[in-house]
Structure 1
């Protein structure tokens, strides 16, 4: 059935209810802590607080060593040594004790006896051991200056080499912070953050752990990765992305321009090649812009191409549609965010098409295309998903996971699974169109596209929020416009597509015939269905057309209505909560047609394009008030019940 409201979900037949579009998923905006947890801050001689480290880090001892007294700079002692003065410089470490990279990167310059001592012998300055062949004489103890140390830093429980940093998953951000025109990157100060406690306290000859390879690269790449994620999801101009080889440690940094005039042009070029590939029926050209590292996605893309070239298109274009980056980020699958390390985005694509001999104007359907940056270019990496997707996304006949075939007549194009004949369905469709034309001969194309494939996902897409109701719905009529309704403020009606529930395709012939006629009635009234058309009018009119040739006695009507109380016409919110409202709406429309004429019923339906109230339309078209209309309806139902 067609939707009264252009942006609402499609309307189903007499056994369905409309599916409301659920709220968006937003990725988690918290950057992965594992990346920043391995970044070591720059070490300066005056950066590490003396008090905190001397209180927490024990000095290295030999097996027979006696603990040194609590002094400001304790000396190193041997089993038979006489205690040295408090400020004695410890003996040098052997080359095997300190790896060369660490000595070069983290040990302060060596001091000789001729070197002038620092003014006050700042206890925060680490004492460098002398060369192995030249022990240094003890330095004269200096009084420690009075300093107010910051909060104590908790050192690690043991001074073991740090494990190499491991890559971590990046959850999707939900509400990215506004992107500023400039960026200021601040690394944690020494003694703060997750890397606190790596530096030994002053005066202790501690064996430093070996430095992880390229830890400084990790710091740079981690910070750039987090910032680029915010830039990309927040609609920034360009970003630096950390790239990895085979999912391991970062191997480099790539500057990815994501501006519309740069990244957008690359995406446009991909979409143009995609259009040309379908027209030329070139699978190689189609797959050239697909990331084939995901075998399952590559297989779906090949099937989609095979289905597209079977469709009788008179026109087909893939067009990028400008949408806010934060809005599109809600449809980004988390696994693709991790796979491309944030160098990925969801692009709103309008699939503009026209079926040959069927559509009088181009029809716009949505595609949420995921583009990832790989090997220096943008490629198609997947499909967006989640709640609150635009109507029709992943619900088109070419989205079927299996092969399709086309059966058609002058007024009907039926897309069925390749194993189905489809001829019986085509004959019933022609009968349904004839019945609709008897009530509404003009005002619409009089032609329709039916999707009746066995892939249940195509039908279920329209019931994303209420999957439990899918089994109650035989078919739906989906209105489409010249632009995607959710992406445009100006929507011009184009056509209505009918989608069948594959589980209902084996229903009795009479039931299938009723369903087809009901949905075709929605298609016929689609151009005059507006946001103010009441549900009881929309569904009641479709039931009136479907039941028009039948003869129904009082017993059948009583059984159908059951104990439904007829008082006032149901509101839109109430209508689908009670399936028997379909029968009540049908009887209201039949009463109008029998009392005022069938043309008046059509005019009553069309009146809601100009007016929003039942009372106003009833007065203009029927010459009665709403209260009078409801009284006539109650009397008519009571008579039909017998």
Structure 2
């Protein structure tokens, strides 16, 4: 009897389990939220209308309350030769019935200049009405930079090898910058034979505060900096596009030589972007850009490195090459100048002792290393046949000879 009872109990348990499994199997799988796909489709149409210069189609994706600001942006963007404009939805948060907040990467390309898009992150508020989504708010993500056209009417000047976009600037000033950029491109191409576009895009905002907005950083960090270049190091042909951004306050007070040097320096960063990686120390990337900018100008070390010359003459000869932290903006301006000058003189030493071809080969070899550790040491050995200790000693002797 006991055995029969256990068998019955087991059969009952098996039947119960089978019933439960059957019930689970009959439950319909949860359907994915269609909102991300629908919002992506909406933004695709919105982007296509902008490129087609279809204002009605462009406004169709937006809540009517956004129409005045959207028309202004639509008109400003007409001044920029766009070759691409797209959104990639990365996240959608349903804020309630018929409401959502989406995060999207906005990418745009300038025709004839960009192989990859310039990108920025946007946050979009959306409302669903009658089965259709509409954008009710559009703002930069936290920490994301502004775009030049959001700062005012854009004036465009096209050079032979450059495109200069400005807000709050005269056409004469923008043409002057384009002419300097047109001279910078072949000067860089003569020093660096690399796979790059041979053209640059220069942005000229109305003030250093506006420059900070374009960089998503406080203006105080760039107050004494004449220009910076944006871009992704070692990113390859599809990396976000480079932009040279001018600080109009600092750039204007420079003489003609200084303005030309600034644009040649920044153009060098554009040209060497793919070969500049996390393995590249800042003294090499900035020193090489200065070396290209000074190349062929006849400027002596005493003229080009006044701050370091003062330090050397005062008996303060640096013991080592400047570290990355020495190049931070917003600190001691004289120390920053000495760091740049030290990097330039290190590159000048290589070019003079080993030759210009060895300098560019050294730059590429450092950047090709898988990481920072050992990159300079390996390139010094394989390209220049020296060691870090010997190179540092040679550099210090070079400073004494040229600046003492």
Q: Is the TM value for this pair above 0.5? A: yes
SS in 2 for 1:428: helix
CA, structure 1 residues 609+441, in 2 after alignment: closer, same or farther (shift >3 Å)? closer
Tell me how far 1:437 sits from its aligned partner. 1.5
Q: Does 1:372 align with 2:126?
A: yes
TM-score by length of 1: 0.51
Distance of 1:320 and 1:364 partners within structure 2 = 13
Distance of 1:322 and 1:494 partners within structure 2 = 17
- Which position in structure 1 is the counterpart of 2:44? 272
- Which position in structure 1 is the counterpart of 2:242? 496
1:621 paired residue among 353, 372, 383: 383
Tell me how far 1:492 sits from its aligned partner. 4.4
**Residues 496-536 of structure 1: per-residue CA shift (max 9 Å, x gap):** 22111233453333322121111001011111111110000
Q: Does 1:348 align with 2:95?
A: no
Which structure shows the higher helix fraction? Answer: 2
Kept in 2: contact 1:404–1:453 (CA 8 A) = no
TM-score by length of 2: 0.78
2:136 paired residue among 378, 381, 390: 381
- Which position in structure 2 is the counterpart of 1:281? 53
Kept in 2: contact 1:289–1:380 (CA 8 A) = yes
1:413 paired residue among 163, 170, 174: 163
**Residues 60-88 of structure 1: per-residue CA shift (max 9 Å, x gap):** xxxxxxxxxxxxxxxxxxxxxxxxxxxxx
- Which position in structure 2 is the counterpart of 1:357? 112
Distance of 1:419 and 1:571 partners within structure 2 = 37
Structure ranking higher on relative contact order (CA contacts 8 Å, 6+ apart): 1
CA, structure 1 residues 638+320, in 2 after alignment: closer, same or farther (shift >3 Å)? same
Kept in 2: contact 1:370–1:384 (CA 8 A) = yes
> Pairwise mapping of residues 42-121 of structure 1 onto structure 2 (< 5 A)?
none
SS in 2 for 1:357: coil
**Residues 413-442 of structure 1: per-residue CA shift (max 9 Å, x gap):** 111237621221111111111221120133
CA, structure 1 residues 491+423, in 2 after alignment: closer, same or farther (shift >3 Å)? closer
CA, structure 1 residues 582+449, in 2 after alignment: closer, same or farther (shift >3 Å)? same
Q: Is 578-587 or 505-514 further displaced after alignment?
A: 505-514
Distance of 1:420 and 1:634 partners within structure 2 = 46
2:62 paired residue among 290, 298, 302: 290
Kept in 1: contact 2:104–2:123 (CA 8 A) = yes
Tell me how far 1:558 sits from its aligned partner. 6.5
Tell me how far 1:277 sits from its aligned partner. 1.8
Kept in 2: contact 1:411–1:446 (CA 8 A) = yes
**Residues 165-221 of structure 1: per-residue CA shift (max 9 Å, x gap):** xxxxxxxxxxxxxxxxxxxxxxxxxxxxxxxxxxxxxxxxxxxxxxxxxxxxxxxxx
- Which position in structure 2 is the counterpart of 1:540? 287
Tell me how far 1:447 sits from its aligned partner. 1.0
Distance of 2:68 and 2:210 partners within structure 1 = 17
- Which position in structure 1 is the counterpart of 2:263? 516
Which structure shows the higher strand fraction? Answer: 2
- Which position in structure 1 is the counterpart of 2:339? 581
Q: Does 1:598 align with 2:356?
A: yes
> Pairwise mapping of residues 88-487 of structure 1 onto structure 2 (< 5 A)?
262-293=34-65, 298-313=67-82, 315-323=83-91, 343-353=99-109, 355-359=110-114, 361-373=115-127, 375-376=129-130, 377-385=132-140, 387-389=142-144, 393-395=145-147, 397=148, 399-417=149-167, 420-421=170-171, 422-454=174-206, 459-461=211-213, 463-480=215-232
Distance of 2:63 and 2:39 partners within structure 1 = 14
Q: Highest Rg: 1 or 2?
A: 1
**Residues 33-55 of structure 1: per-residue CA shift (max 9 Å, x gap):** xxxxxxxxxxxxxxxxxxxxxxx
Kept in 1: contact 2:116–2:238 (CA 8 A) = no
Distance of 1:510 and 1:427 partners within structure 2 = 13
CA, structure 1 residues 457+284, in 2 after alignment: closer, same or farther (shift >3 Å)? farther
CA, structure 1 residues 553+358, in 2 after alignment: closer, same or farther (shift >3 Å)? closer
Kept in 2: contact 1:416–1:452 (CA 8 A) = yes
Tell me how far 1:456 sits from its aligned partner. 5.5
**Residues 118-141 of structure 1: per-residue CA shift (max 9 Å, x gap):** xxxxxxxxxxxxxxxxxxxxxxxx
1:571 paired residue among 309, 312, 323: 323
**Residues 539-570 of structure 1: per-residue CA shift (max 9 Å, x gap):** 00111111223334465466321325411112
Root mean square deviation of aligned Cα: 3.1
Q: How many residues align?
A: 356
Q: Which runs of 5+ in 2 are unaligned?
A: 1-29
CA, structure 1 residues 394+618, in 2 after alignment: closer, same or farther (shift >3 Å)? same
Q: Which runs of 5+ in 1 are unaligned?
A: 1-236, 239-258, 330-336
Distance of 1:456 and 1:572 partners within structure 2 = 24
